[in-house]
């Protein structure tokens, strides 16, 4: 296999994804196959020899799902990066797994089409990785997540057999929905080598509005109120005060003082967008907004969304952090955000909290000092407390980042005994020798 | 089990669903449990004694999926018919499986909400049956199929354990997407006892336009053309000449003579609907429409959709028929419809063809004389030829009706050897004793 290396220096660069608090083992080799046949060759060998295989995209994941395992072959799909077809009539695109999300998104946009899933990592993450983790993003609130766009997959199974599953047609119920089962399975059931996604017609450029609130709870209440009007925002994001402070410290955007919660929304309904934003402004003011800014053109819209765009990089400057990813019913958002603030106080770690409010999907960022064992311990405790809070509010421990290594224990709590047992049965049906990303998502027996 | 009967007269009324060409066995008993605990009791007993169990909703299916099997317990969910909750803030509804689709649809409409999946059977079929078959309908072209709305399921497993899977939140990636796997599995992996579906805000009442064409091919070409403009019709249906003739024979709606293809579209975008319909009229005329009628109000809209509504009942009067359900890429629709006409001529059986053109999902109705063995044989041959044609055009053998007994052989053709093997592994993981609707969808080894 000339696409395989055992050079320790090279291997070292492929050991980690971007998760905090996750260890990585020492792999035996890195395979960078150029096609499905080479992927199958790796799997056949690994199956025969019972060697663990860790599939990898761009390693931008946040849960350790792509982290190396001792003695494993790292199977990077980065060289399989071709857009195979964009079907402008049937509105589908067929790609190899290593295609970068933004490359696909721009290629289809050039043809007047739209691939909505837009994880924060979209400029660097791959479609294969997006499918393996069922990535979300800012557009989800209106357009859905990655799995809503997956039509057909080619998957190399644990023993090297090649499965095509799903279909290119708009509808189809011939057999079990295995394409969905592979989507979000984090490389534990098979290795995805080709993907056909659905596309939509391009939308209009969005307009933006921003509302400022004196309490985080008031901002969250407005989220439910606004969605209840029947409007479907193409983006509806929340930032709490610590997030706003981090952004302001990074770049002064002229946010007002004493803001405890910010909502940012967009509408991409073209001529109807100003009406959507006016309705948002009305609901926000009725809900106690201290100020509402509504963009009247694209340039202003870009300016208003800037604060949310900068949140990630601004928070990176706060130091090491654990990004959490809890999703709760929209109606429980205020309780969640207030609960996170209480957890932050209780454990003595900053936890700026922002996220996709329209979906109830929040990203509390637990900031800690990695040099201080007590701070690390308190950070971990806060992280756990946040997931417990999410479950208590009827939510899930992960809205879009996945389980990987980071949340295996919490997954068992969420699934319960029967759920865990069924997950193990499914895992064993696809991976009887336990070689596919073992120890990720589902623990072995 | 006092909810169980062995009265042969009662059993006889539960042996068949509405599929043609499908036999049914003699069941040993009918169970009509009132709650999840009673369903679990049936399954535990069946598992222990290795008795086949056939779950049933309203038995409106068209593929024999609910037909009795010799010696089986028929497990009807019809008594579990309560709407448990409509959550107006989070836009979800939680129901027992026996709730009739139209009952739910009207209940949520009363609260300004919308449950889009609308199979032709929606006035009589159950949500449980809709989920078990992943039912489609006329709205799918814009809003998606049943599986796009399933959030959380309670499922009784083969051995009687009760699994909750999925979640009520808008997003979530904690573990495998088992809710999707159960959806469309036709009772072969578990028995669904509770369902939480997503709802949408109510839409505006639709407006309708109808276009008439001198050839079926021209009508089909306009489907792709219109969708390519980026408009998203809330309904886009096709009827060929034999369908139009059947409708006209049933009720004279004043359709013009020498029509070979009809397209019917709707837009529910309120103030923007007239603009959508004007765009449709323009594309239709450019594509050779001989006439286009555009409703200017709701009453006219109702009148124009009447023809499509009557197609089912009009075709029932033609005699026994096998309803096929092929879905092809939109761009291949003209070839498909022309191919069906050729198959009709070749085999000497009428095959009126109509369906959800916007999705490429067509329902050719093979009409035959059940008293004439040669006609039956020719009908079956035409039915098979239509599925072969669908596969040849990159389509699937079933867009929304399911596999059941009717299409087991064809499913194996569509899935291929590896696909069949993987289906069997999944089936065995969930149903190791082969008691859940055995012989449906996937054959045993």
Per domain, the residue ranges of chain A are: 4-76, 83-201, 207-392
What does the pLDDT average to over A348-354? 97
Minimal Cβ distance to B230: which of A162, A201, A442: A201
Is B267 exposed, middle or buried, given 0-12, 13-18 or 19+ CB atoms closer than 10 A? buried
| A204, A205, A207, A208 alpha-carbon torsion, rounded to 10° | 130
A396 and B112: CB-CB below 8 Å?
no
- What is the number of H-type helices and E-type strands within chain B? 13, 19
Residue B434 confidence (pLDDT): 97
- Which residue among B181, B359, B397 places its CB closest to the CB of A174? B397
Domain A83-201: which CATH class?
alpha beta
Q: Which two tokens stand for residue A213?
A: 């609130």
Contact A205, A301 (CB under 8 A): yes
Q: Give yes or no for residue A64 having a pLDDT over 90.
A: yes
Give the length of chain B. Answer: 445
Examine the predicted complex and report whether its ipTM is higher than 0.95. yes
* Gyration radius from chain B CA atoms: 22
Q: Which residues touch A75 (CB under 8 Å, ≥6 apart)? A: A31, A33, A39, A42, A53, A54, A55, A56, A191
B430: chain A residues, CB-CB within 8 Å: 422, 425
SS3 state at B212? strand
In this prediction, residues A365-372 reach a mean pLDDT of: 94
pLDDT of A445 reads: 63
Identify the sign of the CA torsion B176, B181, B182, B187: negative
Q: How far is A353 from chain B (nearest CA, A)?
A: 18
pLDDT at A96 over 90: yes
CA distance B10 to chain A (A): 31
Which candidate, A120, A152, A126, places its Cα nearest to that of A139? A120
Using a CB-CB cut-off of 8 Å, the residues of chain A touching B400 are 171, 173
> Considering only alpha carbons, which residue of chain B is nearest residue A399?
B172
Name residue A353's beta-bridge partners.
A364
pLDDT of residue B241: 95
Q: How far apart are CA B286 and CA A80, in angstroms?
A: 42
**What is the 3-class SS of B17-82, one letter each residue?**
CCCCCCCCCCCCEEECCCCHHHHHHHHHHHHHHCCCEEEECCCCCCCCCCCCCCCCEEEECCCCCC
- Tell me how far apart the alpha carbons of residues A92 and A104 are, in angstroms, rounded to a whole number: 11
Query: What are B69's two structure tokens?
Result: 């099997």
Q: What is the pLDDT of residue A192?
A: 98
Is 90 exceeded by the pLDDT of residue A253?
Answer: no
Tell me which chain B residue has its CA closest to the CA of residue A164. Answer: B419
Spatial neighbors of A259 by CB under 8 A, at least 6 apart, are A212, A213, A214, A241, A244, A290
Contact B409, B158 (CB under 8 A): no
pLDDT on residue B47 = 98
pLDDT for residue A352:
97
Measure the CA–CA gap between A88 and A201, rounded to whole angstroms. Answer: 10
Taking the Cβ of residue B88 and every Cβ of chain A, the question of whether any pair is shorter than 8 Å is answered with yes
Q: Encode pLDDT of A394-430 as tens digits.
A: 999 999 999 999 999 999 999 999 999 999 999 999 9
pLDDT in tens, B284-334: 999 999 999 998 888 888 888 888 888 988 998 998 999 999 999 999 999
pLDDT digits (tens, 9 = 90+) for B184-237: 999 999 999 999 999 999 999 999 999 999 999 999 999 999 999 999 999 999
A79-88, B19-28, B416-425: the lowest-pLDDT one: B19-28
CA A184 to chain B, closest CA, distance in angstroms equals 6
Kindly give the pairing relationship between strand B29-31 and strand B73-76: parallel
Window 246-285 of B: residues touching A by CB (8 A cutoff) are 272
pLDDT average, residue stretch A312-321: 89
- Mean pLDDT within A158-185: 98
What are the residues whose beta carbons fall under 8 Å from the beta carbon of B216, sequence distance 6 or more? B238, B240, B241, B260, B261, B334, B337, B338, B341
Tokens of B353: 């063809």
Q: Among the listed ranges A50-64, A290-304, A320-334, which one has the minimum average pLDDT value?
A: A290-304
Mean pLDDT of chain A: 95
Alpha helices for B165-264 (secondary structure H):
178-182, 216-228, 241-250
Per-residue confidence band for A267, with pLDDT thresholds at 50, 70 and 90: very high
State whether B418 and A224 contact (CB < 8 Å).
Answer: no
Q: What is the CATH number of domain B4-76?
A: 3.30.43.10
CATH superfamily of the domain spanning A207-392: FAD-linked oxidases, C-terminal domain (3.40.462.10)
Return d(Cα A101, Cα A121) in angstroms, integer: 8
Q: What percent of chain B has pLDDT over 70?
A: 100
Place of tokens 């051995």: B159
Among B438, B398, B405, B402, residue whose Cα is nearest residue B47: B438
Q: Which DSSP letter does residue A94 get?
A: E
d(Cα A232, Cα A304) in Å, to the nearest integer? 19
Rounded mean pLDDT, B255-264: 91
Model pLDDT, residue B4? 95
Q: Quick check: B75 pLDDT over 70?
A: yes
The string of pLDDT tens digits covering residues B364-412 is 999 999 999 999 999 999 999 999 999 999 999 999 999 999 999 999 9
| Cα–Cα distance list, A300 to A266, A304, A441, B305, B406 (Å) | 12, 6, 43, 44, 58
B48 Cβ contact partners less than 8 Å away, ≥ 6 residues apart: none
Tell me the HSE value of A144 on the side-chain side, using a 13 A CA sphere.
17
Query: pLDDT band at B445, cuts 50/70/90?
Result: low
Residues 6+ apart with CB under 8 A from B276: B207, B231, B233, B267, B269
Residue of B nearest to A166 (CA): B415
B 291-350: CB under 8 A from A? 327-331
Q: How far is B372 from chain A (nearest CA, A)?
A: 31
């Amino acid at each position: 296999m000339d696409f395989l290396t055992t050079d320790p220096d090279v291997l070292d660069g492929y050991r980690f994804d971007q998760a905090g608090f996750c260890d990585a083992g020492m792999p035996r080799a890195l395979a960078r196959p150029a096609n499905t046949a080479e992927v199958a060759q790796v799997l056949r060998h690994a199956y025969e020899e019972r060697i663990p295989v860790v599939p990898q995209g761009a390693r931008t994941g946040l849960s350790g799902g792509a982290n190396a395992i001792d003695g494993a072959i790292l199977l990077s799909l980065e060289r399989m990066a071709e857009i195979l077809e964009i079907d402008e009539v049937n509105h589908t695109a067929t790609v190899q797994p290593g295609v970068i999300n933004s490359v696909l998104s721009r290629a289809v946009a050039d043809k007047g089409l739209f691939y909505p899933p837009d994880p924060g990592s979209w400029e660097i993450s791959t479609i294969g990785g997006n499918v393996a983790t069922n990535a979300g993003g800012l557009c989800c609130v209106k357009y859905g997540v990655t799995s809503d766009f997956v039509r057909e997959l080619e998957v190399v199974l644990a023993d090297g057999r090649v499965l095509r599953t799903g279909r290119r047609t708009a509808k189809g119920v011939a057999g079990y929905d295995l394409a969905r089962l592979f989507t979000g399975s984090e490389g534990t059931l098979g290795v995805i080598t080709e993907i056909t996604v659905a596309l939509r017609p391009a939308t209009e450029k969005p307009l933006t509005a921003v509302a400022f609130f004196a309490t985080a709870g008031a901002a969250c209440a407005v989220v439910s109120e606004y969605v209840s009007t029947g409007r479907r925002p193409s983006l509806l994001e929340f930032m709490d005060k610590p997030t706003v402070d981090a952004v302001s410290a990074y770049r002064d955007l002229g946010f007002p003082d004493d803001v405890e919660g910010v909502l940012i929304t967009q509408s991409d309904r073209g001529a109807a967008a100003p009406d959507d934003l006016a309705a948002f402004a009305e609901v926000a003011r009725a809900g106690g907004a201290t100020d509402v800014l509504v963009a009247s053109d694209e340039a202003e819209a870009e300016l208003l969304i800037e604060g949310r765009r900068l949140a990630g990089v601004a928070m990176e400057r706060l130091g090491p952090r654990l990004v959490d990813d809890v999703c709760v019913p929209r109606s429980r958002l205020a309780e969640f955000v207030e609960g996170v603030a209480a957890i932050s106080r209780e454990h003595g770690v900053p936890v700026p909290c922002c996220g996709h409010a329209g979906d109830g999907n929040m990203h509390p960022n637990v900031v800690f000092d990695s040099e201080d064992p007590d701070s690390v311990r308190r950070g971990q405790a806060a992280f756990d407390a946040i997931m417990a809070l999410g479950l208590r509010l009827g939510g899930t421990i992960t809205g879009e980042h996945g389980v990987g290594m980071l949340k295996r224990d919490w997954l068992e709590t969420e699934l319960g005994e029967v759920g865990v047992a069924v997950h193990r049965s499914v895992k064993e049906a696809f991976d009887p020798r336990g070689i596919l990303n073992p120890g990720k998502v589902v623990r072995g027996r």
